[in-house]
Amino acid sequence: MIANYGYEDGSGHYYIKIDTSKCAECKDKGCVEKCPEKLFVVELDDFDDEVVVIREDCRNTLRTNCALCKANGEKELCRQACKFDAVGFSW
Amino acid sequence: MAEIEKVDYWRWTESNWRNPEIADVTGCLLTAGVDIGSTSTQAVVLADGVPFVYSNMRTGNNSPDSAINAMNWALKDTGLKTEDIEYTIGTGYGRVNVPFSNKNVTEITCHARGANYIYGPTIRTILDMGGQDCKAIHCDEKGAVTSFMMNDKCAAGTGRGMEVIANLLAVRVEDIGELSFKVDEEPDPVSSTCVIFAKSEATKLMREGWTKEKVLAAYCHAMALRVVRLLERNGMEPDFAITGGIAKNMGVVKRIERIMNVKALEPTMDTQIAGAVGAALIAKDLVEKKRAKA
């Protein structure tokens, strides 16, 4: 399943995309530790697979949460840590 | 001085239903789904996987009470009690607050499963327009979610936005759809990014002499444009259907159809109960799986 967490407002659309079937295969979930904003948390999904989701209290503030990583101009730290290429950004 | 009657134009009609074709459920597997949304709560009971009773009412300020009230209303006059139901799944934003549930499942999963039941296995794209959020969901032929995208940051494109406009224009929320077509030509949409701005814009348009119908048309148009963007981002594949309260507002549904150049499937039951139906179906699957293992 492709889960898109985020929002759209007058300034644009800000979604983090997680491919949960790829994510469920990953054992170490490196994105959780690597993200300086601690946006990722591990949860059991509806099919009892361990997957990462974006913290509920951050889903409507992603533009500011991810600003530092984005400003670097390099691949975001969560994407660098994800060995399964399960994380993507809409902006 | 004459007393002025205060009318809450935003209040939609609550309902309950009993399947006239099922007289007795003795020996049937009873499963239930309770969907506590931000604005409405639904309870659905299935007898051997077939809808037996349901209720659809406004969510109060206490989610556990809303779940109990919805279930009690659904079971009214059936002789059944909540304890007679073998397995109950809670869903919706208040899913963890259903006091009698055996498990909770996200509303995304439940809506896809419920839409698959209500609209049939050809359904691939579901737009759930809820009270305070809007979700675009893609599913496969079994009703399993393949992708989803939601927006709950702003009330534009939600039932709450429609309620605000209903109160502002003193039009019953259930009449908005029909009235919005009583215009000579489709007006430009009002601000589609914020309900607050849309409300001030609607006030300004009324002051400029626009009719209520024209303002409603402009608002429904804006709401349709807003949710179409979400649909396009998540990917649109027919068959397509809309669930949630706004699915009953033809003013929005028809405009979405026109913009997307797609026809939404006709619902066979109340579009607001899709999540609860899905939850009750998942409950049935879980019971059957457990029985097969035993």
B248-264 confidence digits (pLDDT tens): 999 999 999 999 999 99
- Contact state of B148 with A2 under an 8 Å Cβ cutoff: yes
How far is Cα B92 from Cα B276, in angstroms, rounded to an integer? Answer: 9
Same domain, yes or no, for B163 and B198? yes
Cβ atoms of residues B138 and B127 within 8 Å: no
Are residues B248 and B129 part of one domain? yes
Give the nearest chain A residue to B151 (CA atoms).
A7
CATH of the domain at A55: 3.30.70
Query: Pseudo-torsion of CA A35, A41, A46, A51, nearest 10°?
Result: 40
Residue B266, φ and ψ in degrees, nearest 5:
-80, 130
Do the domain assignments include residue B68? Answer: yes
CB atoms within 10 A of CB B261: 7
Q: Is A25 on the interface with B (CB under 8 A)?
A: no
Instruction: Give percent above pLDDT 90 in chain B.
Output: 77
Is the pLDDT reported for residue A76 higher than 80?
Answer: yes
Q: Is residue B6 in some structural domain?
A: no
Per-residue model confidence (pLDDT) at position B174: 92
- Domain count across chain B: 2
The residue among A13 and B53 whose pLDDT is bigger is B53
Point out the residue among A4, A13, A90 whose CB comes nearest to the CB of B148.
A4
What's the pTM value of the predicted model, to 2 decimals? 0.90
Domain that holds residue B282: 15-113+273-293
Upstream peptide bond of B239 is cis (omega within 30 degrees of 0)? yes
Do B260 and B277 share a domain, yes or no? Answer: no
- 3-state SS, residue A66: coil
Summarised one tens digit per residue, pLDDT across range B15-40 is 999 999 999 999 999 999 999 998 89
- CATH number for the domain that contains residue B78: 3.30.420.40
Per DSSP bridges, beta strands B50-58 and B15-18 are antiparallel
Q: Which residues of B touch A59 (CB under 8 A)?
A: 152
Number of domains chain A contains: 1
- B134 and B230, same structural domain? yes
B3 part of a folded domain: no
In a domain, B9, yes or no: no
Q: Is B149 in Cβ contact with A4 (below 8 Å)? A: yes
Structural domain for A70, as ranges: 2-89
pLDDT of residue B60: 84
Residue B10 belongs to some domain of the structure: no
